[in-house]
Amino acid sequence: MYKYNKTEQAYIEAIGERITKARKALNMTQEQLADAIPMDRSGLSFIETGRNACNVVTLMKIAAVLGVDAKQLL
């Protein structure tokens, strides 16, 4: 398994924070967003907390559901 360096980890965490902020701005729960993508709520939680990196396809799905451009989440 790949171990991220500090810079990469900070970037992954920042993406997760932006996803969380956009989701909460819509008063959406993790479960609601996860169901809409679809993915497990725990998987979304790992992305939002920076424990897991988000792939491009998942990022685009999240952005579409949240009604934002994927660039805003990067």
Confidence at residue 2, expressed as pLDDT on a 0 to 100 scale:
82
Confidence at residue 71, expressed as pLDDT on a 0 to 100 scale:
97
- And the tokens for 20? 């969380």
pLDDT tens string 16-67 = 999 999 999 999 999 999 999 999 999 999 999 999 999 999 999 999 999 9
Residues across the chain: 74
Q: What's the CA gap between 30 and 32, in Å, rounded?
A: 5
Which residue blocks in 1-74 are alpha helix, DSSP H? Answer: 6-25, 30-36, 41-48, 56-66, 70-73
Q: Is there a contact between 22 and 72 (Cβ–Cβ < 8 Å)? A: yes
Choose the CATH number for 6-73 among 3.90.1150.10, 1.10.260.40, 1.10.490.10, 1.25.40.10.
1.10.260.40
* Domain boundaries defined on the chain: 6-73
Ramachandran area for residue 28 (φ above 0: left; ψ -120 to 50: alpha; else beta): beta
pTM of the entire predicted model:
0.94
